[in-house]
Amino acid sequence: MRSGKAGLFAASIMVAVCIMLIAGVFAVSAETEQVVQITAKRFEYSPKDITVKMGVPVVLEFTSLDRLHGFNCPGLGIRTDIPPKEVTRLRFVPQSAGTFPFHCDNFCGDGHEGMTGTIIVKE
Ligand SMILES: [Cu+2]
Percent of the residues in the chain that have a pLDDT greater than 70, as a whole number: 75
Class of domain 33-122: mainly beta
What is the model's pLDDT at position 18?
Answer: 41
Q: Is the peptide bond before 47 cis (omega within 30 degrees of 0)?
A: yes
Q: Please report which confidence band the pLDDT of residue 27 belongs to, taking 50, 70 and 90 as the band edges.
A: low
* pLDDT at residue 14 greater than cutoff 90: no
pTM score: 0.74
> Domain extents for the chain?
1-32, 33-122
Percent of the residues in the chain that have a pLDDT greater than 90, as a whole number: 73
Lowest mean pLDDT of 2-6, 60-64, 117-121, name the range. Answer: 2-6
For residue 47, how far is its CA from the centre of ligand 1 (angstroms)? 14
Q: Which amino acid appears at position 14 of this protein?
A: M
Contact call for residues 34 and 54 (beta carbons, < 8 A): no
Residue 90: which of 61, 67, 115 has the closest Cα?
61
- As residues whose CB is below 5 A from the ion ligand 1, the structure lists 69, 104, 108, 115
Contact call for residues 101 and 92 (beta carbons, < 8 A): no
